[in-house]
Structure formats: structure tokens, C-alpha cells
Amino acid sequence: MTASITRPGKIIAIHLSYGSRADQRGRRPAAPSYFFKPASSIGASGGTVERPADTELLAFEGEIALVIGAPARRVSLADAWDHVAWVTASNDLGLYDLRANDKGSNVRSKGGDGYTPLGPELIDARAVDPAALRVRAWVNGELRQDDTTAGLIFPLAQLVADLSQHFTLETGDVILTGTPAGSSVIVPGDVVEIEVDAPDAEGAPSSGRLVTTVVQGDVPFDPELGSLPAVDDLQRTEAWGSPEEAGLATPEPVLSPELREKLFAAPTAGLSAQLRKRGHHGCFVDGLTANIPGAKIVGTAKTLRFVPFREDLFASHGGGYNAQKRAFDAVDEGEVIVIEARGDATSGTLGDVMALRAQVRGAAGVVTDGGVRDFDAVAALGFPVFSQGGHPSVLGRRHVPWEVDVTIACGGATVQPGDVIVGDGDGVIVIPPALVEDVVDAALAQEDEDSWVAEQVAAGHPVDGLFPMNAEWRARYALRLASLAQGPEEK
């Protein structure tokens, strides 16, 4: 039944048309806006769609497609529906990785081969009420979208009339009428099904299920020909449908003000000892010292990964708004930027401008297992950086800024975004968030005990039996704790 629309003259799609989708996006347009899709993007039910190599954000959009039956030029709203011959299902697929340079036009992000499957059956437009159509979408059998044209911001006939003001809608042209809330990312192996029907019409006519299977492509885009795929958290949020679905929802703060204060009071030596007691022996970031004597940092990790320098990779990832700049622009108050530089100190991993940006953003500091350019200038800012020391060269000598907010290795320690970072004169340690409260309380208790032991040694007591404490000294210390626990009136 879709043979007549295998090669339409025009495919026109609307950007945003359902109230549920507008609410999801946080914006409601005052008038419809459109983009074109190439005829080569048409696909049929049962086909495949390729997610190109080196991309991640291919998204489905279940939509109602209108097929023009009679040419329309400057038609009225009242007459517009008479120019629609057929209604069917469509999947307005899009690759959000390619939206950076053509968002709005969607030439590349929406124009790929097979990115507009239609069908499988055509519904006679005369047999249905355009205000009572339904569109549903399933991914791997799970219902993801379910909405009706009653939820449209702009009625279907309005789209036909509006477009006909600007150019002739010819027989066979296709109008994609927008997607409701529920559109999301799909991955290779996923099977997407779209159905359009009129459940209240006589015979409940249906398009049947339009089936598309996602496959993985293996041909990367050529960096010498055009801009490469790129994603950020905004694109991930829009592709997945929400920050929660994209895994980007703001979590509850790992460090309350009280917990942060405890960590400032606890030395890294004591914290690392408590971690080792709990079986965590890889918590120490080796080989780093602070740029400011006596500096201490406490915060949660925002990670940045560099890979070894390679000419072609630096050409594609080193310039422009690269991963390093994105990390320093996005760091939040109280976070520590932790940089994986593979222990290579023969190049700077940040300089005074990046340090100033992080400081202005409220970052707690930077930890890098590489070098620091403008070392003295960074120290003069009063901004704490733990590193292997200064180096005058730019990062492009040894590094390619690669990615942000991923698990990294820094100074022999694994660091994940959100891990708790503490640094002082003894160095830097990494604490899993789930352990931090228990570890810091134990470390402070041990610090109090060690301070009391030091007082006894200063008073002239020998260390034998005192450090570590034998039963006699342990009993004395217990009495001291009991005395401190009593209020002044109880003593």
C-alpha cells in the first residue's frame, strides 16, 4: 500500500507540535516551524536503520504522516483536509550527534538513508476525523509513546493550510506531523514499531505496525569533509527525553556541609588508613604535591581524560570547544577536576586561564597526574592544584583532550565522577561515596586517639605499651572518653 509514496517530491516535517512534547522540552511554540527531509530517507516496514560508527544518540519519533492527494496552494483551513489522501505511520528518526552544526535545518541529523520509514498500510483520510487519530510506539515490545491528535498544539489541517501559503503541496508529498512525549534513544538490536489508527472510527482503521530494526554501522565520518559527531549533556537530555532518562539527573549532594567540614578536619593519612581497614588499597593518587604549601582540598570528582598525542586525533579533538574546555566550563561549586594524563609530567594539563575559570566556577581544586603550565601564576591565584609539578609546554605536546565525566585512572587510582577527593600535604586520596561518612568518622576518632597518645608521650611516657595502646592504656583512654561524654553538671 505504500508504493505510491516510495519517492515523494517533498517530505516536510514539523519541529514541535504535541503539547506533551512541548512540556517535556520546556517550550511551547507560538506557530509551527518546519524542516525538509530528502526523499532518499524513505524506508519501508521491516527494514533496518543504521546507527553510524562513533555515534550514540540515534532516537526514534513515532509520528502521523499525511500524504497529499490533490495539489494545495493557498488553501483555507476549512478546505485543507480535503487535499489529504492518506494517513499512515512514520518514524522520524534523528541522530542527535550531528545536530551541533545544523540544528533547525536537520539536514544531516534527520536526512540519513532510511531515516523516514513509512507504512505499512495507508488509511483513507476521508474515513477518519483528523482530531481523533492515535499514534503509538513500541521499543522491543514495550510501549513508549501513546498520544492522540487531541493533544496537538497545531491541528493537522492547519499544517496543510500553512505550508500551502508558501509553496505548492503536490500529489504524493508527505507531511510528518510531529512526535508526542516518549521519544528516546535506540541502540543496535532494538526493534521499533509505530502504529497510527483511528480507534473511534468505523472499522477502527489502522496503518498496521511499522517495524524498523537498528543495526550498527562501521564506516566513520571523514574529518576532512565536514564536522564530526559531537554530543554534550544538552543533546543527551533532548535525545533521551529527560535528564533522568539520560542518566544526568542531579543527584543529592554527596557532601553535606557537615560532612565536608569533617573531611577538612581529617588528615588523608587517617582517611587512607581507614580505607585500607575496609579492604580498599588502591585509594591513593601517587606522586602528586600541592602547588600551595599547606593547601587542602575536599570535593567530589569531575573527571577529564587525555589520551596520548596523535596528529589526526589532535586535529579533530584538540581545537575548538574541546573536552578540556568543556570540563572547566561545566565544573560545579565544590567539585574537584581530576585529570587522567597517564602520569606524563612533560606537558601542561592546564594553565592559568583554565585554573581561573575553575576558580570562578567555585571548584575546590584540580588533581592531575600530569604537569601544570603557568605553575607560579596558578599558585598566585590561591587556587589549589595537586600535580607532578610545573612544565612550560602546552598540552598538545603530549596529550589529546578526549572525554569528560567518565571513569579514569589518575596516579594509579581509579576515579569515577562523584567520588570524594581529599588532598593535603600527604597527597590525594579517593573515597567511594558510599563509604565516606563511615570512613571520616572513624578517621576523626582515630585522630583524637592519636592526639591523646601524643599528649602522653609529650608528658614523658615511653611509647612501649602506649603506641599502640595495651590494655592498661586502653582502659585509661576509655575513662577519658567517658569523662568527655558527661555534661559539666554530671562531672
Per residue in 298-343, pLDDT (tens digit) is 999 999 999 999 999 998 888 888 999 999 999 999 999 999 999 9
433: which residues sit within 8 A by CB, 6+ positions away? Answer: 254, 300, 418, 419, 420
pTM of the model: 0.57
**Percent above pLDDT 90 for the chain:** 78
Give yes or no for residue 2 having a pLDDT over 50: no
Task: State the chain's mean pLDDT as an integer.
Answer: 92
Give yes or no for residue 73 having a pLDDT over 60: yes
What pLDDT does residue 491 have?
39
What pLDDT does residue 451 have?
87
Copy the grid coordinates of residue 199: 480507534
What pLDDT does residue 316 have?
86
Per residue in 233-283, pLDDT (tens digit) is 888 989 998 888 888 876 566 789 999 999 999 999 999 999 999 999 989
Q: Report the C-alpha gap between 59 and 14 in whole angstroms.
A: 16
What pLDDT does residue 7 have?
84
Copy the grid coordinates of residue 233: 549533556
- Determine the longest span between alpha carbons in the chain, in angstroms: 104
Residue 103 banded pLDDT, cuts 50, 70, 90: confident
Can you tell me the mean pLDDT for 174-182?
Answer: 97
Give yes or no for residue 155 having a pLDDT over 60: yes
Give yes or no for residue 207 having a pLDDT over 90: yes
Give yes or no for residue 203 having a pLDDT over 50: yes
Give yes or no for residue 26 having a pLDDT over 50: yes
Give yes or no for residue 21 having a pLDDT over 50: yes
Give yes or no for residue 3 having a pLDDT over 50: no
What pLDDT does residue 487 have?
58
Can you tell me the mean pLDDT for 25-45?
Answer: 93
Domains located in the chain, CATH noted: 3-240 (3.90.850.10), 257-437 (3.50.30.40)
What pLDDT does residue 488 have?
54
Per residue in 134-154, pLDDT (tens digit) is 999 999 999 999 999 999 999
The amino acid that residue 150 corresponds to is: A
Give yes or no for residue 66 having a pLDDT over 90: yes
Can you tell me the mean pLDDT for 34-51?
Answer: 95
Three-class SS string for the chain?
CCHHHCCCCCEEEECCCEHHHHHHHCCCCCCCCEEEECHHHEEECCEEEEECCCCCCEECCEEEEEEECCCECCCCHHHHHHHEEEEEEEECCEEHHHCCCCCCCCCCCCCCCCCEEECCCCEEHHHCCCCCCEEEEEECCEEEEEEEHHHECCCHHHHHHHHHCCCCECCCCEEECCCCCCCCECCCCCEEEEEEECCCCCCCCECCCEEEEEEECCCCCCCCCCCCCCCCHHHHHHHHCCCCCCCCCCCCCCCCHHHHHHHHHCCHHHHHHHHHHCCCCCCEECCCEECCCCCCEEEEEEEEEEEECCHHHHHHHCCCCCHHHHHHHHCCCCEEEEEECCCCCCCECCCHHHHHHHHHCCCCEEEECCEECCHHHHHHCCCCEEECCECCCCHHHCEEEEEECCCEEECCEEECCCCEEEEECCEEEEECHHHHHHHHHHHHHHHHHHHHHHHHHHCCCCCCCECCECHHHHHHHHHHHHHHHCCCCCC
What pLDDT does residue 233 have?
86
Give yes or no for residue 172 having a pLDDT over 70: yes
